[in-house]
Chain A
Amino acid sequence: MSHLLPLLVTVPIVGALVPVVLGARRPVLSRRLTAGVLVGQVGLAVAVLVAVATTGPRTYVVGGLPAAVGIGLRADAVSSVFVLLVAVAAAALSLTVRTDTTGPTDSLWLLFVAGLTGIAVTADVFNLYVFLEISGLAAYALVAGRRGTRAALAAFHYLVVGTIGATLYLLGVGYLYVATGTLAMADLRVALAAVGYDSPLVVTAFVLVTVGLGVKLALFPLQAWKPDAYAAATPDVSALLATLGSTVPGYALVRLVFDVFTASFLDAVPLVRGSLLVVGVASVAAGGFLALRQSDVRRLLAYSSVLQMGLVVFGIAIATPAAVTAALVLLVANAVAKGGLYAATGVFAERFDATTVDSYAGLGRDAPLTAAAVGVALVSLVGLPPTVGFAGKWYLAVAAVDARAWVVVVVVLLSTLLSLAYAGRVVERLYLAPAGHGVEPVAADGGGHAAVPSGDRAVAFVVVAALATVLVGLGSTALAAWFAPVVEGWL
C-alpha cells in the first residue's frame, strides 16, 4: 500500500462528486455512498496509523518526481493522529448528528474532510495554502447552508476574514520562497538556518504565516468571526467546525513553527517568542471574560475555544518537548470536548428549544443523560482529572515551571478559574436552577421516547464524546509517548 497517503486526500475529494451527481435523482443511494466514503476514510486513517506504528514515518512524492521538485506528502506519529481525528469526527458526526441530509451538504462535508486531511499530511508549505482554502471554502458554504439572513451574513464575514487569513499565509509563503528558493518543509528547515533566522525576510514570513493561521485558530484579536459563524450555522455544522475547524490549523501552526522554522528560530528572535506569549495571554483573558458574558451557549463555547487556543500558543512559545506535547494534547482535548458539547446544544435546541444559558434551567432532570455528558465535557474543558483536558493543562503547567515561565504558570491557573466560572454557569443552570419558566419540551414526549430518531443518535454521540474525554485522559501518557519521538525530533 505505497499509495496510502495520496488516497487519504483523493478518496474524499472524488467522493465529494458522488452527491453532486446522484444527490438529486437517487438521494438514498447518494447518502449511503457518502457514508461509505466517510467510513472508508476512517479505515484509511487507521491503516496509516498502523503503518506509522510498525514502519515509522511515511513519505510520498506525488507523480513520482524527485523530492526537491515534486509535491511531498508525509505522515508521522503526530499527523497520523490528526488524520484519524478528522476521519472519525467527520464520519461519526455525519452518521449521528446530521440534521440536513441534502446532497450539497454531503459534498461540502467531504470537501472539508479532504482539505483538513491534506493540511495534516502535506509536506509542502504552498500545498498547505491550497488545502487551507479547500477546507475554508467548504466551511463557508456549510455555514451558509442554513436559511436566513443571519447565516448568510455570518458566512460572508467568515469568508472575508478567512480569505484574508489564508492570503496573508500565502504572502508569508512568498517571503519564504524569496528567502530560500524552496517550498518543501524539509528543505526549508535546512535553508532557513543557512539564510539566518534574524533575516528580515524570515521574520516577516514567520509573522505573516502565524497571523494567517491565527485567523483560522481565532486567536485574540482575530476571533470576531468565530462566535457568529458557529452560532449561525445549523447544530451539526457547528459541531463539525468546532471539532475540526481550528484543531487542524492549530496542528499546522505547531508543525510550521517546529518543523520549518524550528525552536532555534524562537531562540534567535526573542521578540517573536515574547509576542507569542502576549497573544496567548490576550487570547486566554479575552476568551475567558467574553465567554462569561455570553447568554447564547454556542457563542459561549466559541469564546471558550479562543481561551483553549491561547493555551496552545503558550505550548508553542515555551518550546520544550513537554510544552509542545501539551499543545498537541490540548488540541485533541478541545476537539473531543467541543464536538460533544456542540452536538449537545443541537439536542437541547431541537428537543427543548433551549439555546441560551438561562433556558437550560432544569434540563438536568428532563434530559439526564445529555446533561451528564455535557457536565463531563465541561470538566475536561476546565481541566480537572481524569479527563484529557487535565492532562494537557498539567503537561503545560509542568513545562512552564521547568522553563521558569512564571507568567504562563499564573495564566494557566487563571484560565482554569475562568473556565470554571463559565462552565459553572452552565452546570448550575442544568442542575441547580428550578425548571425553566415557559420552557416546554418541543417534542411531545411522555417519557422522552417520542423524540426524533436522529436526536437519539445525537445523544449517543454526546455520551461517546464525553466518555472519550475520560478514556483519552486515562490514556494520556500513552498519547504523549506516541507523540514523543516526533516532538523530540523537532526540538
Chain B
Amino acid sequence: MVGSRGAYVVYALLVGIGLFVLVDDDNLVKKVVGLNVFQTGVFLFFITAAFRADGRAPLLSATGPFVNPLPHVLILTAIVVGVSVTAVALALVVRLYDEHGTFSERAIREARP
C-alpha cells in the first residue's frame, strides 16, 4: 500500500488546486478547468480507496486478490455527471463570449448594462 499513500496526497493536491483556480482565476474557461480538476481529485480518492496491491480485475481471473469494482462503477457514473456539468458550463461561457467578446469575468461584470 506504499503507492496508495502517494495517491492520497495527489488527491488532496488536485482538490486544493481545483478550488484555488475556481476562486482565484478571472478567466471563465479556466474556472471550468478548475472545476474539472477539483472533481478529478475526488474521483482519484474513490479509485485509490478501491486499490489493492497486485489486485486484478475481478471478472478476468478466478484467484484474488481483486481490486474492488464498486468504486470504479460509481466513478464511471460520476464522470458522466461531470461531463454534463462541463457541457452546460461551457455553453454558458460561449454565450457570455458571444455577447461580450471576452472570457474575463471582471470585464463582463463591468460591461453589464
A interface residue numbers (CB < 8 A to B): 126, 129-130, 133, 137, 140-141, 144, 149-150, 152-153, 155-156, 159-160, 163-164, 167, 170-171, 174, 177-178, 183
Contact = CB atoms under 8 A, between A and B. Distances in A.
Interface residues of B, number: 35
A153 B108 CA distance: 9
Given A152-B96, A156-B96, A163-B35, A129 B88 contact: no
B49 A159 contact: no
Nearest to A161: B22
B19 interface: yes
Interface string B69-113: 011001001100100110011011101100110000100110111
11 contacts: A133-B81, A144-B91, A149-B112, A153-B112, A156-B28, A159-B85, A163-B85, A164-B19, A174-B46, A174-B49, A177-B46
Interface in B23-51: 28, 31, 35, 38-39, 42, 45-46, 49
Contacts of A149: 96, 99-100, 108, 111-113
Contact of A160 (B22, B46, B70, B95): B22
Interface of B: 15, 19, 22, 28, 31, 35, 38-39, 42, 45-46, 49, 70-71, 74, 77-78, 81, 84-85, 88-89, 91-93, 95-96, 99-100, 105, 108-109, 111-113
Contacts of A126: 74, 77
Nearest to A134: B81
A153 B89 CA distance: 10
Q: Is the contact region of chain A dominated by helix, strand, or loop, or is it mixed?
A: helix
Given A137-B85, A141-B88, A178-B49, A164 B38 contact: yes
Contact of B84 (A137, A150, A155): A137
B55 to A, nearest CB: 16
Contact of B92 (A133, A155, A183): A155
B94 to A, nearest CB: 10
Contacts of A170: 42, 78
B39 to A, nearest CB: 5
A164 B31 CA distance: 12
Nearest to A136: B85
Contacts of A153: 96, 105, 108-109, 112
A144 B96 CA distance: 11
B88 A140 contact: yes
A149 B84 CA distance: 22
